């Protein structure tokens, strides 16, 4: 919950705009300001104060305890011009909140944390638990000192500046990525990747404390860190076992369950008869921990009960294989403000970027310094797909980019055809050319519509022609991608001729070249008078259906066919 506090009428007006924009996320704190800030500080995750920074500094100073748990506080001036993250920039999310508030109120976010200013990801913003001297090591990174990156556990980190990754040296600051219990030394931060899977078997009614105690002992004896536990894994039959659910809740991790048949198929070092009889697999703890592969660090181990009665719980611990991350990111048609915020985030989340050189140029300024850019020229699609997947398999965070939507006549399919289930794949949709063009032309896609690529490089012309004919017969609006190039000039006239067998010469046709790019141009013409020579590979061509009309220079396809019946 975000607490909102204001003092004056002007502040209250800005406050109310924010409250109206985010009704479910915000709560207004009325009354004397000092009291309102105090209440909000204890009750909310974040505060937005429509007050001078000086006033807020004095009010929150006595309340501050720990940057890991204090709420993030954003100040907005009464005129709503600036949103200043005052405390909790990273851990409290105040930097992000200031940007969001900025978007709603039209205010400029004033972000002053150093790592943001130089484009370096804050060490406490990587989504991993972090221990040690965050401030000192961040300082060393920012000052350009050699900083050692000791990645004991492979984890897909975003790009770090070039001075990170130096060979170990006396007194150098260290960033360690590790699931081993060993805590941070001086001038060291340790990031805890979610690399451990704890398999759990339990008799009915096994107490939470018994399971938690056993997990703790198993990790401690093996020198492993509890903050790296990703999940508790068990058999389906135990999915509602209160002891397992309670232990997972206390550890703050999910319970993941598998069928007995899946577990029975896993080869384990210590099978036994008891679970086979009870739940249908010779191993629960070891098999559930190992089912996704990985290295068995702690073989099955039983709890020891003080009164000597039989153990009610077993656990086993596995370090799962590193999983790289492949983000397939659509950049939109060209204009920066048609690039989604999520796409920007993914570009900045990556340490490796793969793409066509002209698309890389489109977003190069957004990449974090130190991002490895693997760009190639036109036509190297298969190679780009293979490279992106291979880099992700090495455990890296990869962004594979495409213009428009990366899934539309673009890189997503060749990449996912290469990918196996040992990497995480994230898709980010983009504004595809047909949509960008549609909004320029008017409303040509108001009813059923289809995209057809006229490129016969990968598709035999007979197939393309059959699809054009089907669209023509079904009276569907058609957008042609890849409509015409120097070496491919007869396909577009041929396709238009097929449509003309079913649509009148006056049918509106929209031609949009370089949608949302600096030299954008567009025109609405007709099926009878389109000159194919104005069309090239930077263009999409949208042909209306029999109901589409030109109205005030805009192309409009009605949402239903009543209009068509009336007009005929």
Give min distance, CB of 13 to ligand SAH, in A. 40
3-class secondary structure for 163-202? CECCCCCCCCEEEEECCECCCCCCCEEEECCCCEEEEEEE
CA distance 281 to 117: 55
Least distance (Å) from ligand SAH to the CB of residue 438?
A: 11
Do residues 422 and 393 touch, judged by C-beta distance below 8 A?
yes
Closest distance to ligand SAH from the beta carbon of 543 (Å): 14
State in angstroms the smallest separation of the CB of 432 from ligand SAH.
3
Task: List the beta bridge partners of residue 82.
Answer: 108
- Strands, sheet with 147-151, edge to edge from the N-terminal-most edge strand: 130-132, 188-191, 173-177, 147-151
Q: Shortest Cβ distance from residue 411 to ligand SAH (Å)? A: 8
Query: Least distance (Å) from ligand SAH to the CB of residue 446?
Result: 20
Q: How far is CA 27 from CA 9, 126, 159, 351, in A?
A: 17, 29, 37, 39
Minimum gap (Å) between residue 436 Cβ and ligand SAH? 6
Alpha carbons 317 and 300: distance in angstroms, whole number: 8
Give whichever of 387 and 403 is closer to ligand SAH, judged by the CB atom.
403
Q: What does DSSP assign to residue 559?
A: S
In the complex with ligand SAH, the residue whose CB is nearer, 105 or 440, is 440
Least distance (Å) between residue 380 CB and ligand SAH: 15
The DSSP code for 123 is G
Rounded CA-CA distance 99/81 in Å is 12
Nearer to ligand SAH by C-beta: 542 or 548?
542
Judged by beta carbon, residue 155 or residue 409, the one nearer ligand SAH is: 409
Kindly tell me which of 160 and 440 has the beta carbon lying closer to ligand SAH: 440
Nearer to ligand SAH, 60 or 406 (CB): 406
Q: How far is the CB of 414 from ligand SAH (least distance, A)?
A: 12
Of 130 and 535, the one with the shorter C-beta distance to ligand SAH is 535
> The tokens of 401 are what?
């980019």
Instruction: List Cα–Cα distances, 17 to 84, 86, 103, 105, 239, in angstroms.
Output: 17, 21, 12, 8, 45
Name the token pair of 78: 């009464």
- Shortest Å distance, C-beta 512 to ligand SAH: 5
Contacts of 339 (CB under 8 A, 6+ apart): 331, 332, 363, 430
The total of other beta-carbon atoms located within 10 Å of residue 61's CB is 9
**What whole-number distance in Å separates Cα of residue 159 and Cα of residue 432?**
28
Nearer to ligand SAH (CB atom), residue 130 or residue 385:
385
Q: How far is the CB of 463 from ligand SAH (least distance, A)?
A: 17
Nearer to ligand SAH, 200 or 436 (CB): 436
| 430: Cβ contacts below 8 Å, ≥ 6 apart | 329, 330, 331, 332, 339, 340, 343, 402, 403, 404, 405, 406
Minimum distance of ligand SAH from residue 423's CB (angstroms): 22
Strands 508-513 and 521-526 turn out to be: antiparallel
For CA atoms 499, 503, 505, 511, the dihedral sign is: negative
Q: Which is nearer to ligand SAH, 214 or 433 (CB)?
A: 433
Residues of this chain that bind ligand SAH (CB under 6 A):
333-334, 402-405, 408-410, 432-433, 436-437, 481-483, 512, 514-517, 537-540
- Helices (DSSP H) in 44-166: which residue ranges? 53-60, 94-105, 114-117, 134-142
Give whichever of 100 and 405 is closer to ligand SAH, judged by the CB atom: 405
Q: Which is nearer to ligand SAH, 180 or 467 (CB)?
A: 467
Give the residue closest to ligand SAH by C-beta. 404
Query: Which DSSP letter does residue 214 get?
Result: H
What span, in angstroms and rounded, lies between the C-alpha atoms of 495 and 497? 5
Number of residues in the chain: 568
């Amino acid at each position: 919950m975000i607490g909102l506090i204001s003092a004056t009428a002007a502040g209250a007006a800005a406050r109310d705009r924010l409250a109206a924009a985010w009704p479910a996320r915000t709560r207004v704190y009325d009354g004397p300001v000092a009291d309102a800030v105090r209440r909000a500080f204890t009750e909310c995750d974040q505060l937005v104060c429509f007050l001078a920074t000086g006033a807020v500094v004095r009010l929150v100073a006595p309340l501050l305890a720990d940057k890991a748990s204090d709420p993030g506080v954003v100040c907005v001036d009464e005129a709503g011009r600036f949103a200043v993250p005052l405390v909790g920039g990273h851990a409290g999310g105040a930097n992000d909140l200031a940007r969001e508030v900025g978007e709603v109120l039209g205010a400029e976010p004033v972000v002053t944390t150093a790592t943001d200013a130089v484009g370096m990801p804050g060490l406490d913003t990587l989504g991993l638990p972090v221990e040690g001297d965050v401030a000192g090591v961040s300082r060393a990174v920012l000052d350009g000192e050699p900083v050692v990156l000791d990645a004991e556990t492979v984890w897909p980190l975003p790009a770090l500046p070039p001075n990170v990754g130096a060979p170990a040296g006396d007194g150098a600051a260290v960033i360690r990525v590790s699931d081993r219990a060993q805590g941070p030394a001086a001038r060291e931060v340790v990031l805890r990747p979610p690399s451990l899977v704890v398999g759990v078997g339990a008799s009915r009614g096994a107490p939470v404390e018994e399971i938690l105690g056993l997990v703790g002992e198993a990790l401690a004896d093996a020198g492993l860190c509890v903050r790296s536990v990703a999940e508790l894994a068990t058999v389906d039959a135990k999915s509602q076992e209160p002891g397992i659910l309670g232990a997972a809740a206390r550890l703050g991790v999910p319970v993941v369950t598998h069928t007995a048949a899946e577990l029975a198929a896993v080869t384990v070092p210590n099978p036994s008869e008891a679970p086979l009889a009870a739940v249908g697999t010779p191993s629960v703890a070891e098999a559930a921990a190992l089912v996704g592969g990985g290295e068995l660090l702690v073989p099955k181990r039983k709890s020891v009960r003080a009164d000597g009665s039989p153990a009610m719980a077993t656990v086993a611990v596995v370090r799962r294989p590193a999983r790289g991350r492949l983000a397939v990111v659509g950049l939109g048609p060209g204009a920066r403000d048609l690039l989604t915020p999520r796409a920007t985030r993914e570009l900045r989340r990556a340490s490796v970027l793969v793409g066509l050189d002209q698309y890389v140029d489109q977003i190069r300024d957004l990449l974090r310094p130190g991002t490895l850019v693997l760009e190639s020229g036109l036509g190297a699609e298969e190679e780009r797909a293979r490279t992106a997947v291979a880099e992700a398999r090495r455990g890296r965070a990869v962004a594979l980019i495409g213009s428009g939507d990366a899934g539309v006549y673009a890189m997503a399919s060749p990449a996912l055809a290469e990918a196996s289930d040992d990497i995480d794949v994230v898709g980010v949709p983009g504004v595809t050319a047909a949509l960008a063009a549609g909004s320029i032309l008017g409303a040509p896609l108001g009813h059923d519509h289809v995209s057809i690529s006229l490129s016969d490089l990968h598709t035999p012309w007979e197939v393309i022609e059959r699809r054009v004919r089907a669209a023509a017969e079904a009276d569907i609006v058609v957008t042609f991608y890849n409509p015409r190039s120097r070496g491919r000039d007869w396909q577009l006239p041929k396709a238009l001729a097929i449509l003309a067998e079913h649509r009148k010469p006056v049918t509106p046709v929209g031609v949009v070249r370089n949608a949302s790019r600096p030299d954008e141009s567009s025109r609405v013409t007709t099926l009878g008078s389109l000159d194919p020579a104005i069309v090239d590979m930077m263009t999409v061509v949208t042909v209306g259906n029999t109901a589409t009309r030109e109205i005030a220079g805009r192309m409009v396809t009605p949402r239903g066919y009543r209009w068509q019946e009336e007009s005929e």
